[in-house]
Amino acid sequence: MPDGPDCHMRSDALVRLGSADAERFGTTHPNDSSMMINGQSMRLTTLIKTVAARFGLGIFDVRGRYAQDGLFTVHGDHFRADPGFRAAYGRGVQAGHGVDPAFEWRVHIALWAARAGLRADGEFVECGVNAGIVSSAIMAALRWNMVGRRFYLIDTFTGPVITQYSQDEVRDGRATLASQALDAGAYVTDMDRVRANFAEWPNAIIIQGSIPEVLEKTDIGMVAFLHIDMNCALPERAAFEFFWERLSPGAVVLFDDYAYYGHDHQRKSIDAAARARGAEVLSLPTGQGLIIK
């Protein structure tokens, strides 16, 4: 885990690896020693896994595997070695003042989604910017100054709006989590810092204000890529509904927390809004959600 505050460092991101899949995914280490149990020889790792499974816990050998940000997989994470990806991810970390949120697969997907968005007409928009980790990675990867489009970056830059949390979200601790993150300095409120981060991209348009109210005051036309990441159902749904008619054919919508652990209220609200528009969200194992219009 990173050692500094950031709103992506969620205490609820820890994953309980509880599944019989432990046997399937765990590899046996060559130095594993054997023990005699009930007269039978049992490898130590097998014994530990068997005991753990009784308690609903899975033990995985994560060496050489992708295991961060609530996602463990034995599948290939080749993109992490790509120099272009490393440079873009590094620019994101730089936006976060060197604090690495350790969510490379999410950024990988965001870069893919943003590139796909380039095939549609219109501007790029991010609702929920904070330090600008994901948006900076995108602009670095896409060489934003060569693209000739605007990237609207919308945020209160005072943190979440606590009064926007529904009763259910409050009951489930979402508002408390947000307040605690705010108190811990996880949300960037220094506008000079925000402006300095995006200064290298003249077409990055910073808009300070609360969604939904601020949206009517913007002059955003057609949209090709929309990233929604506010950790609260009300503004996320409002942003989705506001921009839906403005999305060009082929435009990409990426929800940062659609299926993320503990964010069920956002998913249910977004699902209802999407269904009402004949759309369906692709749920991604990173916790993100994706729509291509």
Ligand X SMILES: C[S@@+](CC[C@H](N)C(=O)[O-])C[C@H]1O[C@@H](n2cnc3c(N)ncnc32)[C@H](O)[C@@H]1O
Which residues lie near ligand X (CB under 6 A)? Answer: 7-8, 128-131, 133-135, 155-156, 159-161, 164, 187, 210-211, 229-232, 235
Q: State which residue, 41 or 163, has the beta carbon closest to ligand X.
A: 163
Q: State which residue, 71 or 234, has the beta carbon closest to ligand X.
A: 234
Q: State which residue, 166 or 210, has the beta carbon closest to ligand X.
A: 210
Q: State which residue, 131 or 247, has the beta carbon closest to ligand X.
A: 131
The least distance separating ligand X from the CB of residue 107, rounded to whole angstroms, comes to: 9
Cβ neighbours for 83, distance < 8 A, ≥ 6 positions apart: none
Region label for 219, one of left (φ > 0), alpha (ψ between -120 and 50) or beta (otherwise): alpha
Question: Among residues 94, 77, 83, which one has the least CA distance to residue 133?
Answer: 94
The least distance separating ligand X from the CB of residue 117, rounded to whole angstroms, comes to: 16
- Measured CA to CA, the distance from residue 92 to residue 169 in angstroms comes to 29
Q: State which residue, 45 or 164, has the beta carbon closest to ligand X.
A: 164
Q: Residue 63's CB: how many other CB atoms inside 10 A?
A: 8
Question: Among residues 258, 276, 272, 161, which one has the least CA distance to residue 208?
Answer: 161
Q: State which residue, 37 or 170, has the beta carbon closest to ligand X.
A: 170
The least distance separating ligand X from the CB of residue 50, rounded to whole angstroms, comes to: 39
* 260 contacts 283 by C-beta, under 8 angstroms: no
Q: State which residue, 71 or 177, has the beta carbon closest to ligand X.
A: 177
How far, in Å, are 90, 127, 191, 278 from residue 198 at the CA level? 15, 15, 11, 36
How far, in Å, are 143, 202, 224, 252 from residue 117 at the CA level? 14, 20, 5, 5
Q: State which residue, 22 or 207, has the beta carbon closest to ligand X.
A: 207
